[in-house]
Chain A
Amino acid sequence: MIAEFGQVSLILALVLAVLLATLPLYGAYRGSDTLMRLAPSLVIGHFVFLAAAYVALSVAFLNHDFSIANVALNSNLLLPWYYRLTAVWGSHEGSLLLWMLMLGGWMLAVVAFSRTLPREFLTRLLSVMGIVSIGFLLFTLLTSNPFDRILPGPTDGQDLNPLLQDPGMIVHPPLLYMGYVGFAVAFGFAIAGLLGGKVERDWVRWARPWTLAAWSFLTAGIALGSWWAYYELGWGGWWFWDPVENASFIPWLVGTALLHSQAVTEKRGSFPAWTVLLSIAAFSMSLLGTFLVRSGVLTSVHAFAHDPDRGLFILIFMAVITGAALLLYALRAPRIMTGPGFDWMSRETMLLINNVFFAVSAAMVLLGTLYPLLVEFMGWGQISVGPPYFGAMFILLMTPIVILLPLGPFTRWKQDEVMRLLRPLAASAAVAIVLGLIISAALGAWNLRAITGWIGGIWVMAGAVAWAVRQWRGTRSGLALHQWGMTLAHFGVGVFLIGVAMVESMTFERDMRIAPGQTVEAAGYEFTLHEVAQVKGPNWRAEEARFTVNRNDREVARMNPQKRLYHRGGQVMTQVALRPGITRDLYIAMGEELDPASGAWSIRIHIKPFVRWIWGGAALMTLGGLISAGDRRYWRRRRAESRRADTAEVPA
């Protein structure tokens, strides 16, 4: 019953999406107020039915309804209730449902917070998002129905992939999807703007908080994914340039470029067409990410059930959405190309450089990700580019960004002088170099990567602080929220840089053979293995190694890594033991039992300096983005201007 209820809800949501994508849009074209007024109600109904479908699937998981294939494949009687709830998005079908629920949620938020947008504009925006929703609803109903039955249902289900039975996994996909889907709002704004025929600085301003919010969610989602891979996959790395990771990273890079180009277009009206193009690209790259993950086109550690039919569907969908958007762009952009000029030494130039480097980075990651395909297409055999390509490329492309980042906010719009700029930052530069050298020496991290990492990181952090201080002194009212947000996010970049440089240059990593009672020493720490015990969990059993870690004869940690066997699927999983710290993480993962007689195991020990700073930096960026998005400036002026627009429309 519950499955049919969910199914019908999805179909009704599709009907409403079709209505939303047609009637109000036609109304906006014909200037019919009655039709346009339908849009908000349709959005609410659309969301309600999506939510109903989502709840239906959740209830099925909670009640162990194994006659639903999706439940039977991703849950079982032993699975705790909270993982049964998160198992809803553990599968391809369920995650699509979550995706659509979020799209519906974003649309609802647009209706709730943007009531004062000019009606035609709001209508077009919602209709465009309705079109996106149609695509996903059709995709779900036709190729990936989460409510498909298997009759007779099995008495017990398989299991949720053990990799996904983890708190990090509860929040990672929803955050990521919030980001992906959030770019649909920016996309909607751009298309609505193109349809309207004028690129006004207005709509760019209206789009900014939405883009910022989406970008923040995406940042948090990617960071969580990286953190999860770090402790759950047992590899000890934090980024692998895996195609699926890249699929989330490309929209992030494009989104970062978009944020900065929006700033220019909003404030100065320069490069409007580029902003529109980036809005289209950010969402298209999100769609491409979806395609890559679910079609089996690229092999990856992220195992979604691959299905070429699904891949074909997403590809067609992407062709329609992006193709139409780019065609519209080609037709309408010439009209909006013009923007005011600017001097070579100006904030516009700085942001243009930012955009060039981020856009090129996105293109490079895309190229690297698709390179195996390209090579095969050209008949050059099968190869893959791998991390060295990405690593080298990123150092090359990000160095200029790091050097120029603190200069950006200090630069004046339109034109500026080099000398005026260098004076306030000379102190930051001096601090960065001296402090960077001292810290590197003190930590014994005397290598090029660590030293440049510290200098670059401090330069960016000091630059952000210097700017905030000057701004604070200069104005009575202090910093506006969006300025706080920017400072925080830029500061986060510095923190992130230091984390990356230290982890990449100073990680200690070794496989060792150790038997109970033995002690091994690694980088100043003594690891003692006391015993290897058998332990049992709700749906697994495991061998658990019990370690104590000493430093200078003082106990710093007790660590118990496990090797788990999940009963149902028979998967073996390493559960690493982690002792996090601000300046270093201790990390133990169990390998194989080497010698049953002595009980010796192979054990992998990692000491990762400053690895937390990577995610700390990302957290600061996220926070900065969210704070900026909450700035009243975007909202207040919007109200004033839409009021003006309303009154202007009355006589006409």
Chain B
Amino acid sequence: MPDVVRESVFNLQFPFTRSLGSTLSTFFSALAQGQLIGVRTGGRVIAPPLEYDPDTAADAGTDYVKVGPKGTVSSWTWVPEPTHLHTVKHPFAFAFITLDGADTPMIHVVDAGSESAMAAGMRVEAKFKPTEECAGRIDDIIAFVPAADPSPSDGAGEPYAAPAENAITMLDSFCDLTYVDNTSASTLLWMESLLKGQIIGQVCPMCNRTYVGPRNMCCVDAIPLDESTLVTVPDRGVVTNFTIITPVQYPGQTETEPFVRVSILLEGTDAVMAQQSVLEIPASEVRVGMHVEAVWAPESERDVSDIGNRGWGSGGECIRGWRPTGQPDEPAENFVERMM
């Protein structure tokens, strides 16, 4: 027998492709070739470069300067237990590193083996990935490591002639966050009812509205609703609105043909169940005013693991969809003004 889900872990993942603009394109194109650069603006060299001078908001220009690959640590911290987002998987340092030829520090990883090796003033040098693996990203530098030779970097401070066209103009990034959500008391009630094959709601004692799916509050009167307000409502009602969706094949989309999603006002209630699917008839035959009834999954196949805290109207994997009852339609004009 399936059970309610009290806590759910989910990953929020999405890709971004960012355009870099001229200054950052110049920086990352040079970086992919193993060359660090800064920009001279406002009488100092900012490295890595910015498009604007943060002190004045003036255009930072294109007076590019070679910096590094060695630099000096001005502040540091130690990460004893890296997360999955850190680029180095063993204990490492983050540091402010002022590259030779630059006047402002950058933040990067220092891989020095142990915390005791770290100190302000230490000389470090950039350790790049193999050239063929460099993609024009800040992590093309695997880490800074203690400089074998602390003497100044060759060529630091010399002008850098940017190519007419940059090889790197875009940055692919990927967001990957993990959440652990706990199911609220009202959502647990909803899950329990669906597993039993019942639809429940709550009646506000102030405005008398019947909400489908308990929320433990009336969102019109802003008062809490307790379990004494719970009611079981019919699993049949009328379509109040619909849309036909032509699916775009984004990640996670399982539909391939145009499909319909409807809002359903259950008998005796005041809030629709939204985003419901219709079974047994083609999408083109769905009408506002049409009577429908729930098609329940067999008890053993019911599942509420996809119902989150805001899935008030969702039937999860308990309600397969809704089928026409064959009763004569209600007049559509009775529903077109509905908002909820």
Answer whether A and B are interacting partners. Answer: no
Interface residues of B (CB under 8 A from A): none
Interface residues of A (CB under 8 A from B): none
